[in-house]
Amino acid sequence: MPTVPAYSITTDAIAAEQERSGTNPADIDVSKVLQLDELELRPLGPGDVRLRILAVSAEHNIDHATTADTINIADTRGGKMYPGNSATGEVIEVGANVTRFAVGDVVITHCNGGPDEYGFPTRIWAYDAEDSIGWYAKEAVVGDWQIIKAPLDCGLNLWEIAALPLRAPTAYHLWRRAIGIYRIKVPYERRARINVLGFGGGVSELFLMLAKSEGHRAFFCSGSPERRAALEKQGIEGIDQKAFNRFASRDDVRAFTKECRGRTDGEMMHAVCDMMRGPVFAAGLACTARQAVNVSAGWQLSQKVDYNSTLMSVKQVTIDHTHYETPEGCAAATELYGSVFKPTIHREIYGWADLPRAHQEMHLNTQTGIPIVRVADDMPETVKDLVG
């Protein structure tokens, strides 16, 4: 099999940047850690497909890997890893036993790296799954179970489709758990329409789109006016996170709680999606209603959670730790592209050489939407009308 250009993260690159920048992960320049490399593709097995990668999205798990802010995952992977667990690609070769895909199909990936007996992941592909090779590469070889046909007729352009392979299943999983747990406690006939709050980024946006599509009242708390404006066009109410100093103090959290109480006529939030770490976690819990559910797939900033369990118990608040969807759930989430999921895309579509810069700008939180990197110079005819 050929050798192809691919980005890698090494412990040496992490150590060098830590020595330059200091011990605070926030000061690391991730573009200096995410480096262009060469990758020898593994031989194509009977159940494999070979992909030409068309576009990828920047994901926060790469930020964790480059900064080693929770664990040094590159060290755990033996000193080097090839990241990238969200991609859109074109099938250019199939194994002898592959029947669901053919050469020329445009597909999306999912990052379930090691399903348990119920289909949920024990590991994430291109992160902590052993021997997993990511898709920040010109080409890739993957098992056919890791890809889904891209819904090219869903009404989204190629960049919007490329924003969703990881985020849409995550949001889908979070929402179905949040509303399912809430309905165990409060049946539909007792409260049909609930208040739903999401903080910050792409997963929360999609989580709120699901809530809105089912008739609920949705609130998006973000420091980006561009992202708030995009969601407000879909009927999702914006709250400026910067107005509360990103919840730096207890007074800021109290002010946010007061804002939520006023916006909901005193009802507060029945479902909250946050990162379950850092200051937004405290703010999200503070504005929960009785019987509320707090869900998160994130673990940025820390592996530890601290909260007043007595208060949450008295309020009957459920705090739910989640991770990622089953392969079947990923396929179900893909059915909602365009009809429910309409992602906000950063104004610049990055080039292949700019992939490290895209991640540094994500690290600095300066982007106006989900960052997309165009990998292929020439696009297949089937998507040329979807490339703006």
pLDDT band for position 2 (50/70/90)?
A: confident
CA separation for the pair 342, 336 (Å, rounded) = 9
| Residues 21, 33: Cα–Cα separation, whole Å | 12
Cα 323 to its chain centre, rounded Å, is: 11
Report the pLDDT value the prediction gives residue 41, as an integer from 0 to 100: 95
- Angstrom distance (rounded) from CA 362 to CA 70: 18
Phi, psi of 119 (to 5 degrees): 95, -10
* Three-class secondary structure of residue 356 per DSSP: helix
Residue 1 pLDDT > 80, yes or no? no
- pLDDT one-digit tens code per residue, 204-236: 999 999 999 999 999 999 888 999 999 999 999
Task: Tell me which fold the domain 3-163+343-386 belongs to.
Answer: Quinone Oxidoreductase; Chain A, domain 1 (3.90.180)
- Topology adopted by domain 168-321: Quinone Oxidoreductase; Chain A, domain 1 (3.90.180)
- pLDDT tens digits for 121-148? 888 888 888 889 999 999 999 999 999 9
pLDDT of residue 276: 45
Q: Give 300's pLDDT tier (boundaries 50, 70, 90).
A: low
For the chain, the domains span: 3-163+343-386, 168-321
Residue listed under structure tokens 């299943």: 169
Q: Inform me whether the pLDDT recorded for 108 exceeds 70.
A: yes
Q: Which residues contact 119 (CB under 8 A, 6 or more apart)?
A: 112, 326, 327, 328, 329
Q: Which of 248, 240, 204, 133 is nearest to 369 (CA)?
A: 204
DSSP letter assigned to residue 14: H
Is residue 299 predicted with pLDDT exceeding 60? no
- CA torsion sign for 141, 15, 202, 198 is positive
Q: Compute the average pLDDT of residues 320-341.
A: 92
- H/E stretch holding 292 reads strand 288-296
pTM of the model: 0.93
Q: Average of pLDDT values for 301-326? A: 79
Tell me the pLDDT of the chain averaged across its residues: 91
What share of the chain in percent tops pLDDT 70?
96
- Read off the amino acid at residue 191: R
Please check whether the two domains, 3-163+343-386 and 168-321, share a CATH topology.
Answer: yes
pLDDT at 337: 98
Q: Does the pLDDT of residue 308 top 80, yes or no? A: no
Q: Is 337 helix (H, G, I), strand (E, B) or coil?
A: strand
